[in-house]
Structure formats: structure tokens, C-alpha cells
């Protein structure tokens, strides 16, 4: 599977410190909040690229309400998905740094200043930085802050270990104020436009092969949980994306059978949870062929195949049956 072609040189000189990219689709009320948070930054040397993936609502009108020359509105002529939308932003960016903000989230006012300050003395081996987030729940009664999450600083002895760790589990997404050096995309590639889900995971795994990352131990973004569409829940499409990503790293996984088995165990379990039984069975068998002694894979396989439920649910049912038997006695 080929990655999108490396980014072209921007049409004008790189004279801007940071480009903020907001991909958006049919969420104009939330978009207004995100845009306002960018324009309220204490750091002024930025451009804001709003990439509209062919929205059918009043997104264009919402953007037009902001009278600021730093805003650039780009609209796709057809819906192309989140990867293509982000890649469009990257290709149009003129900044030395590229930061992503989801259209339903918002920056803290100090975010860009903190990001640019962190990059000042960072070595070239640092391809990107990630900051903290404040989780916010949007309710009919208003916003409620749930808590703050700080990124864990990398503690890997080598870049290879970092890469294997990201294959096992990607600890964050681009919603954490993640900011990349622009030229790092020329090495690691852009977002994979063949994937319609889990695009962050795919990108960070590829970056782990080429770059290190650093953390900014301060909150940069308010991440909102709301009733609208969000991409955090598992679905057959999302689990299938995990499987495609694993296939892209098959050569590495073949050298690490425990990791291979672990990944396909989780893929299979999540397929079962989505009701995709055939795909689940296939993934779990791949896990067991690579490492036959994985007891939790065997337990999950028999639980879902015989009872259409996971091990925990089966255990709960058995306990209820035992309780009824005891009462009858």
C-alpha cells in the first residue's frame, strides 16, 4: 500500500512559524468554538487552515463570520475522508510547524506559545511534540471539566523499542495538541488515504520508525465529549483499519510472535464485540497459530463461538445460574 506522495514545497516562502489545521465536516456550531480558540492565542505568528470535507451545512458561512486574514478556507469538491482532509491542509501549509485541532475541541489561549517555545531548543530527531488535555463533558446544563491528562514522556532505550511500543498500543491521537515539524512528513509520509478510520494510529506508528517525540507537560487543548458523532468507539470499519495497519508491518511482526499474537487477539476480540463473527474467528486463529499458548485467546474464542458473549458475560451468567440453584436447595 503506497503512502500519499511527499508534500510539495509550499507556493511561498516558509515565513510563518506555525500552521494550524482544522479538518471539518458538517459541524459548524462546534467549528465556531474551535476557530475562536485559535484566534484568541497569545502567540500571533500563525495561519489557520480550515479544510472542509464537502460539508452540506453552513460551514462556509460560519467561517466567513471571522474577519481575519490569517484564516484560509479550503473546501473539497467531494467528501474524501479525514486522511485526505488533513493531507490537503498539510500540502497548503506554509508554517515551519504544523499543529492539528479537531473541529469539536479548543485550544487554551497559551497553546501555540507553549508549543513554539518547546520546539526552540529541540533537536532535529524530535519529529513532533504532544501536550496535555483537559477533558470536558458537554451537557444540556453546560460544560463540565472531568479532569486533566498529561502525556507520558518517552522512556525507550532505542527507536526500535519505541516503534514496537507504538505497534502494541498508540498512547495518543492528534487531539492532544500534537504538532509536527513540517519536513518530518517528507520522511514518514502523509496520512494514509486508503484508511477511513484509525488514521492517527497508522501515522504515529510510521513516525516512530523515523523520529523521536517529546512531551509538553502542560494542558494545551480542551477535548469535548458530546452527543454528536465522534470517532472513538469501535466499529467493524475501525477494527478492519487496525487489521490493515497490522498487515503493513507484517515483516516486523513476524520477528515478534508474542506481539503479533497480541495484536490479532485484540483485533479478533473487538470484531466479536462488533458482531463481525467470521472476521473475529479468523483474527483469533491467526493469533493462536502464531502463539498457541495464549489462554485468553482460547477462552474468548470458545466464549463467543459457543455462547455469543465474552468471557466476563459468560461468567456472570454462570454465577446467576449457580445462585438460582442454591436458592432452590
Pair 140, 29 in one domain: yes
8, part of any domain: no
1, part of any domain: no
Does residue 10 surpass a pLDDT of 80? Answer: no
174, part of any domain: yes
Least confident of 109-118, 152-161, 279-288: 152-161
Pair 253, 217 in one domain: no
The confidence score (pLDDT) of residue 315 equals: 81
Does residue 80 surpass a pLDDT of 70? Answer: yes
Q: Please enumerate in sequence order all residues whose Cβ is within 8 A of that of 162, keeping only pairs 6 or more positions apart, or say none.
A: 154, 156, 208, 212
Pair 269, 202 in one domain: no
Mean pLDDT value across residues 241-266: 95
Does residue 26 surpass a pLDDT of 60? Answer: yes
Altogether, the residues listed in the chain come to a count of 329
Number of domains in the chain: 2
The confidence score (pLDDT) of residue 295 equals: 93
The confidence score (pLDDT) of residue 53 equals: 97
Pair 133, 209 in one domain: yes
The confidence score (pLDDT) of residue 42 equals: 97
The burial of 53, by beta-carbon neighbours within 10 Å (0-12 exposed, 13-18 middle, 19 or more buried), is given as: buried
The confidence score (pLDDT) of residue 231 equals: 47
Mean pLDDT value across residues 109-116: 97
Task: Tell me the pLDDT tens digit for each residue of 129-187.
Answer: 999 999 999 888 888 999 999 988 888 888 999 999 999 999 888 878 899 999 999 99
Pair 140, 214 in one domain: yes
The confidence score (pLDDT) of residue 1 equals: 41
Average pLDDT score, the chain: 90
230, part of any domain: no
Pair 260, 149 in one domain: no
Task: Tell me the pLDDT tens digit for each residue of 188-243.
Answer: 999 999 998 899 999 999 999 999 999 999 999 999 987 755 544 568 889 999 99
DSSP codes joined into one string, 260-323: HHHHHHHHHHHHHHHT-HHHHHHHHHHHHHH-TT-HHHHHHHHHHHHHSS-HHHHHHHHHHHHH
The confidence score (pLDDT) of residue 319 equals: 80
CATH number, residue 274? 1.25.40
Q: Hey, what's the cell of 272?
A: 466479536
Q: Which of 190, 225, 260 is the last residue of a domain?
A: 225
* Of 206, 166, 172, residue with least CA distance to 190: 206
Does residue 98 surpass a pLDDT of 90? Answer: yes
List, in sequence order, every beta strand (DSSP E) within 155-263.
179-181, 212-225
Pair 305, 202 in one domain: no
Distance of CA 213 to the CA centre of its chain: 16
Mean pLDDT value across residues 108-124: 95
Pair 25, 67 in one domain: yes
Pair 173, 77 in one domain: yes
Give, for 136, the enclosing helix (H) or strand (E).
Answer: strand 126-139
CATH number, residue 22? 3.90.550.10
Mean pLDDT value across residues 45-58: 97
Its pTM stands at 0.88
Pair 78, 213 in one domain: yes
Q: Which of 225, 249, 284 is the last residue of a domain?
A: 225
The confidence score (pLDDT) of residue 2 equals: 45
| Percentage with pLDDT > 70 across the chain | 93
The confidence score (pLDDT) of residue 5 equals: 52
User: Among all chains, which residue has been given the C-alpha cell 515539524?
Assistant: 181
4, part of any domain: no
Q: Which of 225, 248, 280 is the last residue of a domain?
A: 225
Q: Which residue has the higher pLDDT, 97 or 232?
A: 97
DSSP 176: G
Q: Which residue segment(s) compose the domain that 161 sits in?
A: 16-225
Amino acid at each position: 500500500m503506497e503512502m500519499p506522495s511527499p508534500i510539495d514545497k509550499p507556493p511561498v516562502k516558509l515565513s510563518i512559524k506555525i500552521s494550524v489545521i482544522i479538518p471539518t465536516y458538517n459541524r459548524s456550531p462546534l467549528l465556531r468554538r474551535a476557530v475562536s480558540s485559535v484566534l484568541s492565542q497569545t502567540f500571533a505568528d500563525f495561519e489557520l487552515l480550515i479544510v472542509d470535507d464537502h460539508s452540506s451545512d453552513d460551514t462556509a458561512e460560519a467561517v466567513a463570520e471571522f474577519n481575519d486574514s490569517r484564516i484560509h478556507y479550503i473546501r473539497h469538491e467531494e467528501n474524501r475522508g479525514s486522511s485526505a482532509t488533513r493531507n490537503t491542509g498539510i500540502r497548503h501549509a506554509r508554517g515551519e510547524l504544523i499543529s492539528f485541532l479537531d473541529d469539536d475541541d479548543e485550544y487554551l489561549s497559551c497553546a501555540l506559545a507553549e508549543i513554539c517555545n518547546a520546539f526552540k531548543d529541540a533537536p532535529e530527531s524530535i519529529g513532533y511534540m504532544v501536550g496535555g488535555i483537559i477533558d470536558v463533558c458537554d451537557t444540556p446544563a453546560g460544560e463540565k471539566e472531568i479532569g486533566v491528562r498529561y502525556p507520558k514522556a518517552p522512556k525507550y532505550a532505542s527507536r526500535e523499542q519505541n516503534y514496537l511500543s507504538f505497534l502494541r498500543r498508540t498512547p495518543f491521537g492528534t487531539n492532544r495538541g500534537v504538532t509536527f515539524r513540517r519536513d518530518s512528513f517528507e520522511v514518514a509520509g502523509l496520512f494514509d488515504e486508503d484508511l477511513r478510520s484509525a488514521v492517527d494510529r497508522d501515522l504515529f506508528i510510521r513516525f516512530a520508525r523515523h523520529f523521536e517525540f517529546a512531551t509538553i507537560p502542560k494542558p494545551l487543548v480542551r477535548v469535548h465529549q458530546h452527543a454528536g458523532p465522534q470517532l472513538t468507539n469501535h466499529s467493524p470499519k475501525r477494527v478492519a483499519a487496525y487489521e490493515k495497519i497490522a498487515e503493513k508491518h507484517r515483516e516486523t511482526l513476524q520477528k515478534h510472535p508474542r506481539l503479533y499474537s497480541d495484536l490479532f487477539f485484540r483485533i479478533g476480540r473487538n470484531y466479536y464485540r462488533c458482531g463481525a463473527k467470521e472476521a473475529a474467528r479468523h483474527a483469533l486463529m491467526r493469533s493462536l497459530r502464531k502463539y498457541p499458548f495464549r489462554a485468553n485467546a482460547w477462552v474468548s474464542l470458545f466464549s463467543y463461538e459457543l455462547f455469543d458473549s465474552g468471557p466476563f458475560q459468560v461468567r456472570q451468567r454462570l454465577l446467576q445460574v449457580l445462585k438460582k440453584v442454591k436458592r432452590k436447595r
